[in-house]
Structure 1
Amino acid sequence: MTEHLSIPTAAGSFDAIAAGPEDGSPVLLLHGFPEAAISWEHQVGSLGAQGFRAVAPDQRGYSPGVRPENPAEYGIGELVGDVVAIADELGWHRFHLVGHDWGGAVAWWTADEHPDRLRTLTAVSTPHPGAFAEALREDEDQQLRSGYLTEWRQTRVTEQRMLAEGGEAIRRMFEWKVSPSKIDEYLRRLSEPGALTAALNWYRAGRPSGKIGKTTVPTLYVWSTEDVAFGSTAALNTGKWVDAAYRFEMFEDVSHWVPEEASEALTSLLAEHFTATRSR
């Protein structure tokens, strides 16, 4: 049975969905753009039924209670700080961290800055930031895939375009791989005053000030061959950036929207990953 939580932090209160026993092995799942915690509802419910304590928050800007106006307040330092603050409020000293899309980037940086807090790391779609930066510099394919980033950093114009005609531009992002009812819910939330701007502020906050090193947390990385945002160069080079137990899984003929399009397969991988490192 999925629960709805409000998790208070110094930054504000995060809305979240959760399932599983309070004393279950803790799992925090981070969503990406332009989604919300419900992108993980299959994983939360299934992991909870297996005895894990799974929690997926609506992240900064997506939770109405944590929606600052200044783009600078969406920097990677603030986003990582939210992860730690949420875990602290839940009473979790060490936990499994899972992220997709932007949530994957936050997960990588959290593992870099707080490796002692994580039992395992799972990144879905998003390669290690070091591998991604290399691909952006050297790989023409990745440069083409990432061309949208410049456009999305343009204020106001992007919001208007994305929400025009009933949010048709956002609907097309999902490539008909996510249920229309769920996309309707994402659009309902993003149509709230300031919500889409807050979500786009993740792109507008600027690059991280520091450099990221090799990950020292046991890591599962899941990449799909039909991902439009992340090409094979960064995906295949991610293993070079992990100095710990590492598992790479490639989903054939699956789009960027792995948590929803391949929900059962991904959930099985997560449970295997968590169980394999249970002794840590």
Structure 2
Amino acid sequence: MNDATTDAVRGVDALDADVPDDEVPESVPAESRAVETNGVRLHVVEAGPTDGKLLLLLHGFPEFWYGWHETIAPLANEGYRVVVPDQRGYNLSEKPPAVSDYRIDELARDVVGIVDAYGRETAAVAGHDWGAAVGWWLALHNADRVSEFVAVNVPHPTVFEQELRNSWDQRLKSWYMLPFQLPKLPETVASAGNWRLAVRGLRDTSAPGTFSDEDIRRYRRAWDREGAFESMVNWYRAIVRDRPTPEQIRVEVPTLVIWGAEDRFLAKRMAGRSVDHCVDGRLLTLDTASHWVVHEEPHRVAEAIADHADPLPPGARE
């Protein structure tokens, strides 16, 4: 690790927020760190050999790094240097106050800064939900920094924009984005009754038993952090106010799209249409999985990521 990396990747005591002793479960062979990137301090969880191929796992809403917790060990065992951030506004990471702080360009620059912080030129990137949206943006605008990309249950931004413009079916699935534009109301409603509606949203849209009581305890704790849920909702406010258009449509980065076919929020047809915009694209459909496929099928997702973004150089795997 070079001097620049040492300055940027610092210990738990560098985090502004208190890190619970059980932030990283005993079953996850990882450690917490703070990374300075793009003007913000992000909490990350890292695992695997320090000289392994860098793999960034980006969570979505309303999760945090923990959404990937069951994939970390198998991917670290494959030889990756696995880094899983709490993206800005989430859990233990810094929470800038303005809606404009959550524009997609800023979110993508955070990830580029993480790659820099680990002293690498490129990283493989896998993202779920909003993490996939950030990953698509990176693959379109910072292709030289992304070796491979895996998008889980969020489509190419052009495909999503076209569906929202032309499909009442997808508009109805995305109805929740409208009340998220209101000030304070989403945060108030979601937190009522110890996050009753937020918890119901996870459990009602996933396979039975997907989210354990321990999972829910951890999510409640992350949502309870001062300013966290407002910052999380600001991602939705920023995308509607900014309405960014990618500079190009064609994705040059080798891309795997993983799609839980039972997703209640996003139409399955967008998965194949997204692959059509990739020079080197593949689709893996998991027929019985929902939007929460990383929780439901973590080992299958980890296997697919490792197959797509081989951690070993050509010829090294027998």
If the length of structure 1 is used for normalisation, what is the TM-score?
0.95
Deviations 1:98-120, CA, capped at 9 Å, x for gaps: 10000000000011110011110
Indicate conservation of the 8 Å contact 2:40/2:88, yes or no.
no
1:192 to 219, 225, 244: 225
Which residue of structure 1 aligns with residue 278 of structure 2? 242
Which residue of structure 2 aligns with residue 178 of structure 1? 211
Distance (whole Å) between structure 2 residues aligned to residue 100 and residue 136 of structure 1: 19
Does the C-alpha gap of structure 1 residues 240 and 155 become closer, same or farther in structure 2, counting only changes over 3 Å? Answer: same
What is the CA-CA distance between 1:171 and the residue it aligns to?
A: 0.6
Return the letter of the residue paired with 1:240. D
2:80 to 43, 52, 55: 52
Indicate conservation of the 8 Å contact 2:59/2:127, yes or no.
yes
Indicate conservation of the 8 Å contact 1:178/1:257, yes or no.
no
Deviations 1:240-275, CA, capped at 9 Å, x for gaps: 2112x2110111121111111111111110110012
Distance (whole Å) between structure 2 residues aligned to residue 47 and residue 64 of structure 1: 23
1:233 to 262, 269, 273: 269
Which residue of structure 1 aligns with residue 291 of structure 2? 256
Which residue of structure 2 aligns with residue 271 of structure 1? 306
Which residue of structure 2 aligns with residue 163 of structure 1? 191
Return the letter of the residue paired with 2:269. T
1:82 to 98, 106, 110: 110
What is the CA-CA distance between 1:11 and the residue it aligns to?
A: 1.7
1:91 to 105, 112, 119: 119
- Is 1:213 paired with 2:249? yes
Distance (whole Å) between structure 2 residues aligned to residue 249 and residue 73 of structure 1: 33
2:167 to 122, 134, 139: 139
Distance (whole Å) between structure 2 residues aligned to residue 135 and residue 233 of structure 1: 10
Indicate conservation of the 8 Å contact 1:31/1:102, yes or no.
yes
Distance (whole Å) between structure 2 residues aligned to residue 45 and residue 75 of structure 1: 32
Return the letter of the residue paired with 2:76. G
What is the CA-CA distance between 1:210 and the residue it aligns to?
A: 3.3
What is the CA-CA distance between 1:72 and the residue it aligns to?
A: 0.7
Unaligned runs of 5+ residues in structure 1 are none
Identity of aligned pairs, percent?
33
Larger mean CA deviation between 201-210 and 155-164 belongs to: 201-210
Q: How many residues align?
A: 278
Return the letter of the residue paired with 1:273. H
Indicate conservation of the 8 Å contact 1:17/1:38, yes or no.
no
What is the CA-CA distance between 1:179 and the residue it aligns to?
A: 2.0
Distance (whole Å) between structure 1 residues aligned to residue 84 and residue 53 of structure 2: 14
Deviations 1:122-146, CA, capped at 9 Å, x for gaps: 0000011111111112222111101
What is the CA-CA distance between 1:64 and the residue it aligns to?
A: 4.2
Deviations 1:192-242, CA, capped at 9 Å, x for gaps: 221100010000113343334211100000111111111123222112211
Distance (whole Å) between structure 2 residues aligned to residue 146 and residue 277 of structure 1: 40
Return the letter of the residue paired with 2:90. Y
What is the CA-CA distance between 1:63 and the residue it aligns to?
A: 4.8
Deviations 1:141-182, CA, capped at 9 Å, x for gaps: 111101111011211111111011110111112125222211
Which residue of structure 1 aligns with residue 4 of structure 2? none
Unaligned runs of 5+ residues in structure 2 are 1-28
